Structure 1
Amino acid sequence: MVSVQRKSLADQAADLLLERIASGEWPVGGKLPGETTLAPQLGVGRSTVREAIRQLAGRGVLQTRQGAGVFVAAADASENWGLLLRRADIVAVIEGRIAIETEAAALAAERRTSSDIRAMHEALARRITPGQTTAQYVDADSVVHRAIVASAHNAVLLEFFDGFTPRMREAMIDMLDLPSNATTCDAGVPGEDHEVHEEIVRAIADADPARAAALTRAHLTALKAAQSSPPPTERQE
């Protein structure tokens, strides 16, 4: 049986943007219109446009310049990178995240600003919003991790993180939707996992690079172990 894989709205929006870039509508070095202009053109919301831009930034097509906008960095996507992530075993993706986010957490503890700390706390609060769907919870969790990486003020680390996001999102939604994991996210209910995220942010706010890095590594290593564990055996009827 051939399985049909449906693309997310963000994936579709990224494809449409890529087509327009490849057609020469926006040349290399050119600036893209703002989200409010692109969203109705693509038939999606502004948050979907942002995610599509993050995907293309992670693939080397776009570059976001703070305070200036989004610019075309290459006319074609780095297909090798995109295909690698789509085909990669999720454990390999988590190992990549361990390398990136551990260093990012340490740098964030050294470089974070007051606005960075505020953004991390706001993201933490959204992560435990009651009544979230699994997808909303995963997206909120990703915002927390991205806020931490952004606080490192290293554009390369941030682009790598954005490149991992679509593949990781898909895997996390699938994992949390398993019946055996039905209470894992509990849609916005605080738990031990959320406390770990709070501790990481606290270490960053306290300017403690070693602790921030150690907590991040431990958290992602535990996630890797959970993904590596064999699925529960289904009872044969």
Structure 2
Amino acid sequence: MPLGSLRPSPLVEQATQHLREQITQGEWPVGTRLPGENALAKTLGVGRSTVREALRALAGAGLVQARQGSGVFVIATEIATVISEDWPARLRRAAITDVYEVRMMVETQAARMAAQRRTEEDVAALEEALAARERAAAQDDAAFVDADIALHAAVVAAAGNPVLTDLFAEFAPALREGLIGLVEVLGLRSHDRNPGHDTHADLVAAVRDGDGDAAAAILQAELERTLAHLHGA
């Protein structure tokens, strides 16, 4: 079965599925060394990073194994009953509303912790992130969403918990894709190029002033409004 070119999106899932079919249908028996990333990328019509993520997913499913200096080899042609799926892959597959609900639970508590633990460096980073968000209002939707997420990431970082910081970093790509689509579809910046500025300024002020309850409440209300948009989109 020829691999064929892929449709534009979602590339990683499509690449993983195509490669999985090659393996499970016996095109590449156990012990076979897979073509290199460049060759697979060219055949599938995707970038090397997409191929790399697909191979990681297949390794997580127990089908392939990377051997340093030798390449990637098929180690099984049947998927185990229980598959340990990569967390990023699961997030990409999840509905954006489901991701957002979990985001609310994580970020509201992170904001409360940030108000209790923030340092002078954290406050400076928050104020710069707020200014960067305001500057990004003059740019396109993707740049504005990136700046918005960066501000939220700064709030999480101020909580001083590296696990929370890493968790938010895992959420960020799925959030970015969903938010860019939401802004474009609903035209949220058609009348106001910097929506939510006052709310975000209040959030930064609450963290700076050490008011955890206010920081959590402001962020909860902000995220609930966005989630309502997502449900209605």
Tell me the TM-score range normalised by the shorter chain.
Answer: 0.5 to 0.7
Q: Does 1:108 align with 2:114?
A: yes
Q: Does 1:154 align with 2:157?
A: no
Determine the structure 1 residue equivalent to 2:218.
215
- Following the alignment from structure 1 to structure 2, what is the Cα–Cα distance between the partners of residues 176 and 187? 12
Candidates 133, 141, 147, aligned match of 1:140: 147
TM-score, with length taken from structure 2: 0.65
Counterparts in 2 of 1:17 and 1:92: CA distance versus 1, 3 Å: closer
- Following the alignment from structure 2 to structure 1, what is the Cα–Cα distance between the partners of residues 150 and 182? 18
Q: CA RMSD in A?
A: 2.9
Counterparts in 2 of 1:15 and 1:107: CA distance versus 1, 3 Å: farther
1:101–1:149 Cα contact (<8 Å) kept? yes
- Percent of pairs with identical residues: 36
Q: Which amino acid is the alignment partner of residue 100 of structure 1?
A: V
Determine the structure 2 residue equivalent to 1:164.
171
Candidates 85, 89, 96, aligned match of 1:90: 96
- Following the alignment from structure 1 to structure 2, what is the Cα–Cα distance between the partners of residues 131 and 187? 13
Counterparts in 2 of 1:160 and 1:127: CA distance versus 1, 3 Å: same
Residues 115-124 or 78-87, more deviating: 78-87
Counterparts in 2 of 1:219 and 1:15: CA distance versus 1, 3 Å: farther
2:100–2:227 Cα contact (<8 Å) kept? yes
- Following the alignment from structure 2 to structure 1, what is the Cα–Cα distance between the partners of residues 170 and 11? 16
In our comparison, the structure showing a higher alpha carbon Rg is 2
Counterparts in 2 of 1:104 and 1:190: CA distance versus 1, 3 Å: same
- Following the alignment from structure 1 to structure 2, what is the Cα–Cα distance between the partners of residues 189 and 81? 34
Gaps of 5+ in 2: 1-5, 13-46, 57-64, 70-83
Q: Which has the higher contact order (CA 8 A, sep 6+)?
A: 1
Structure 1 stretches of 4+ moved >6 Å? 17-21
Gaps of 5+ in 1: 26-77, 232-237
